[in-house]
Amino acid sequence: MLKTIPELLQEAGKNVRRISAESAQRELDENKGLMIDVREPAEHQAKGAPGAINIPRGLLEMKLMEIEKDPARPIYLHCATSARATLSAEQLVRLGYTNVSVITCDVDTIKKVTS
């Protein structure tokens, strides 16, 4: 039986840390973590959060392993609705990254907090 997207998100959400943009910014200021926008490049270019690097969800596992070799470095993922970020976080945890969080608000809120 096929799972629905809400079912996948609910399942994935059990295994990932979810935080607000305000909490993410406080932590980023302290821990020099990495904020990643997992949306497509055109979405990121149209409305990107300051300080976020863009690695689309489809390339994340391959590209991040080239960029970040420390599995304990804090990583904060965001997208437009937190759906892609949640699924991406689950994959990063499976790869061995141990400090992955999903920012659970929209990009406009992230932009306000990080500006």
* 40-94 per-position pLDDT tens digit: 999 999 988 888 999 999 999 999 999 999 999 999 999 988 999 999 999 999 9
What is d(CA 92, CA 79) in angstroms, rounded to the nearest whole number?
A: 15
Show the tokens assigned to 73: 């470095």
Domains annotated for the chain, with CATH where assigned, are 16-114 (3.40.250.10)
**Inter-residue contact 99 to 14 (CB < 8 Å):** no
Identity of the highest mean pLDDT range in 5-9, 12-16, 98-102: 98-102
Residue 115 reports pLDDT greater than 80:
no
**Distance of CA 87 to CAs 56, 92, 112, 114, Å?**
12, 9, 24, 23
Confidence of residue 8 (pLDDT cuts 50, 70, 90): confident
Average pLDDT over residues 4-28: 90
What is d(CA 70, CA 24) in angstroms, rounded to the nearest whole number?
A: 19
Q: What percent of the chain has pLDDT over 90?
A: 73
Report which secondary-structure segment, H or E, holds 88: helix 83-95
Cβ within 8 Å of residue 61, ≥6 positions away: 91, 92, 95
